Amino acid sequence: GCQSETLEKVPDDIISKELMVPILVDVHMLESGVQTKNYNRDSSIILYEILSKNIWEKHRITEGQFRKSMLYY
């Protein structure tokens, strides 16, 4: 009853689990795509930073919201 509903309530500034799933899929696809390019570490990080902005825009979130939500879960 009420106890499970209380446990399921997430703070307003945290992305819901339902919305996190497609975001995580996109992030993992990006990470795997960057890794398969065999760039050096610095280039991979820069490429990820550039391309991840597309994910945040697509899902209408900020990187900060994503990071905070990842820490929450």
Instruction: Give the separation between CA 51 and CA 13, rounded to whole angstroms.
Output: 24
Across the chain, mean pLDDT equals 89
Question: Each residue of 21-53: pLDDT tens digit?
Answer: 999 999 999 999 998 888 898 999 999 999 999
Instruction: Give the separation between CA 47 and CA 49, rounded to whole angstroms.
Output: 5
pTM (2 d.p.): 0.78
